[in-house]
Amino acid sequence: MWKAFATAALLTLASWSASAANFVAGVHYEVIADQPTATPEIREFFSFYCPHCYHFEPVLQKALGEVASGTPMVKNHVDFMSFAPASTQAAMTRAYVAAAKLGKGHEATNALFNAIHQERKRPANADDVRAIVLSTGVDPKQFDDTLFSEEVNKTVDDMSFQQSFWSNKELKPSNPMLSMMMQKQSQERQPVLAGVPMLIINGKYRINLAALDSTKIDQELPEIINFLLKNP
């Protein structure tokens, strides 16, 4: 009920075509923190099991080509998909991080997405995940040595922390009109991270992807990312 209402409200408020000149807080993005991260950062929360994330991946990669050079991009895999084993989701997180440390993050991302959404071969366990990642050309010994390394453990722990933090942080809409509508329609507490894909810019802004014009997403997504990267 809430998701349907929230989406409808956002689409109503965002009925005009967005541009860098008229991106509006509470419509196209939410302010979710008082202070930004110390350095610019784009963080995507996603799941390899999520079909929306699968279709969003090429759109995001294209947008990143138009983002300020050198801006760190963090892909934060989540493990809260109800229709997949938590242990396999955790294995995917760790395997992706290990592959990324070995310079094969993009290849591993494509391989895992394609295995699930194109080949319809969902990995049943960590061994299946390993096999998919190794199919990209990752050296087996290097992968195994990296999988539980201190560096990978630290990154996996940070992803878990970020997921927990934003899943438990209450969303307070930045637009007064939408805020009043939400209060009338739902008394439920709404977290910042309620689904994927989700983009957070500089730890301060969450992009409302549903408010962007789907017919102009290739134009509007890099515009709003660059707009928010420059916002104080």
All structural domains of the chain, each given as residue ranges with its CATH number in brackets, are: 2-230 (3.40.30.10)
Mean pLDDT of the chain: 89
| Strands of 8-127, DSSP E | 29-31, 42-46, 73-77
Q: What whole-number distance in Å separates Cα of residue 220 and Cα of residue 224?
A: 6
What is the C-alpha separation between 172 and 179, in angstroms, rounded?
8
Is the previous residue joined to 197 through a cis bond, with omega within 30 degrees of 0? Answer: yes
Give residue 135's pLDDT: 98
Strand-strand pairing, 198-201 and 205-207? antiparallel
Return the residue matching tokens 């699930």.
Answer: 116
Q: Tell me the average pLDDT across 74-102.
A: 97
d(CA 79, CA 86): 6
Give the separation between CA 199 and CA 11, rounded to whole angstroms: 18
pLDDT-based confidence at residue 153 (cuts at 50, 70, 90): very high
| Residue 184, pLDDT score | 54
Q: Which long-range contacts (CB under 8 A, 24 or more apart) does 90-93 make?
A: 91/123, 91/125, 91/126, 91/129, 91/130, 92/48, 92/123, 92/129, 93/156, 93/159
Is 60 exceeded by the pLDDT of residue 224? yes
